[in-house]
Chains A and B, each alone.
Chain A
């Protein structure tokens, strides 16, 4: 039986694109034929659930019953990959909870593949989270995601500052999410469909839609760039899938 994979997407800061990155991950796995389930911790609303309702469940990670719902079903659930979109401000408490329930130990001993996508915002406060989060990262794959939601440089113009944050943790892998055209982003928001469906000009029920060709083009171009980053970090290898699988959504 395949080893369960848990991917946590989070940040302690809001508005840095956690759900956007989670959505690209779900699209990526879907295109690579990787069965995936997702948990949205933005209880009770749930933005992720709005885009991927079939595979997403809204949970409150601070409650024991919902923690059981996620982690006690890791081996039983048929999808081998679980993506958890952690609400703003909950990343560190969530990781602390995972440590407390012995999940991090299980990851360290190799029973579970555990990865954290830490989405960074363009502020020093956001970068300060790296050190805090890094304390939990033994045994986990740690990805520092630079999400270019605006024209930020992530202090790359100041090498001393940049190095003090990004080179502090040896085993962290940097990942870049390029900026998506604002109107294209808004149109996908309005459509409330996964990026893949938007590109394919489909509505929520797979019905034919009439999205702008220009905006679909921008989303396709952007998604291809994001996925090339996922390819670069060998995400499919991480979740134990043969890369020879046909990527169904990349037509």
Chain B
């Protein structure tokens, strides 16, 4: 049986595009596999639950019971890809727990493949968070997301060594358009006949990046 991917989208900073990437990735996986389970640990920011209520469950890492409810589901190799939208406030506690309970080791044993998508930012908190992850996560499982809307093309050198996933910035009017709660990336691709529109190309480019990311991970195994 092949590995079950678990994508963890994270940053110790708010408003860096975590939920946007989680939405894109969840919709991509749903389109590709026909199923996906998303977990929202991001209730203090724009929330994945608001955008994808049918796919998303809320989770909590403030207490042991919440951790059990989340991690005991995530560690199962059931062939259903998981997406975790990890809020900035839960960053430290989540990775501290992962370290303590030996999540990466157990995941490898159970053929579950965690992929950490770290949303880069230029501040010191992000640099420190990235350092923490470098110590815990194998380089092959850590991907830095260069969100052009946040970084404006100035990815700090410290983040540029490992694997990168680039998300291009959208013009403000399109940003507002995709921020509507009823907007679906896949539905847009299906319904928009003109494949040359900027948004169409942006979505397809991001879906392609996810597919490349997945292929790289398969090839590494």
Contacts and interface: CB of A to CB of B under 8 A. Distances in A.
A236 B102 CA distance: 26
Contacts, number: 36
B173 interface: no
A212 B72 contact: yes
Interface residues of A, number: 13
Interface stretch (B60-68, B79-87, B192-200): B60-68
Contact of B102 (A184, A212, A215, A221): A221
Q: Which 10 A-B pairs have the closest CB atoms?
A: A217-B101, A183-B64, A221-B100, A214-B68, A214-B71, A212-B68, A213-B75, A214-B67, A212-B72, A217-B102
Contact of A181 (B64, B72, B102, B106): B64
A183 B65 contact: yes
Interface of B: 64-65, 67-68, 71-72, 75, 97, 100-103, 106
A193 to B, nearest CB: 18
Contact of B100 (A182, A183, A212, A218): A218
A214 B72 contact: yes
A213 B103 CA distance: 9
A146 interface: no
Contacts of A118: none
Contacts of B64: 181-184, 214-215, 218
A213 B72 contact: yes
Q: Which residue of A182, A212, A217, A220 has the most chain B CB atoms within 10 A of its CB atom?
A: A217
Between A182, A183, A212, the greatest number of chain B beta carbons within 10 A of the residue's beta carbon is seen for A212
Interface in A9-47: none
Nearest to B97: A214
A216 interface: yes
Contacts of A213: 71-72, 75, 101, 106
Contacts of B65: 183
21 contacts: A182-B64, A183-B64, A183-B68, A212-B68, A213-B72, A213-B101, A213-B106, A214-B64, A215-B64, A215-B68, A217-B100, A217-B101, A217-B102, A217-B103, A217-B106, A218-B64, A218-B100, A218-B101, A221-B100, A221-B101, A221-B102
